[in-house]
Amino acid sequence: MTNWKSLITRTMKMHGDSWDNVVSCTLSVHELYEQFDNSWGNQEGKPFTLWTNTRVYFPVVYDGCEWVESVFRDPDGKPTDHFGSGG
C-alpha cells in the first residue's frame, strides 16, 4: 500500500524538487494521503496533476502498476522518453 504523497515525494527528490515549490495540485490533502495498492492488478490511484515552479507531475500506469512521472513545466527543447513500457 502507498499514497500519492509518498510517490510524488520520491519523484520530486529524483529531480531536485520539493513540496515547497508546489504551485497547484488537483488532489486535496485527504486525497494525497489516501492509501491504495499500486502494484500489478487494477488501477486504484485517483488521477491528478501537480505543478511546481519547474515541473508538472502526473500518474502513470502499466498493467495496473502505478507511479509518478514528470516533465519540465516550460519548454526546454528536450524530448520526453516513453513512459510505461520499459522497452
Q: Nearest 5 degrees, angle CA 5-CA 65-CA 61? A: 80
The CA distance from 56 to 32, in Å, is 16
> What does the block give as the cell for 64?
495496473
Question: Whole-model pTM above 0.85?
Answer: yes
Cβ–Cβ under 8 Å, residues 80 and 67: no
State the pLDDT confidence band at 80, using cuts at 50, 70 and 90: confident
Please report the pLDDT score of residue 38 as a whole number: 86
Query: Cell 488537483 sits at which residue?
Result: 26
Q: What mean pLDDT is predicted for residues 10-25? A: 98
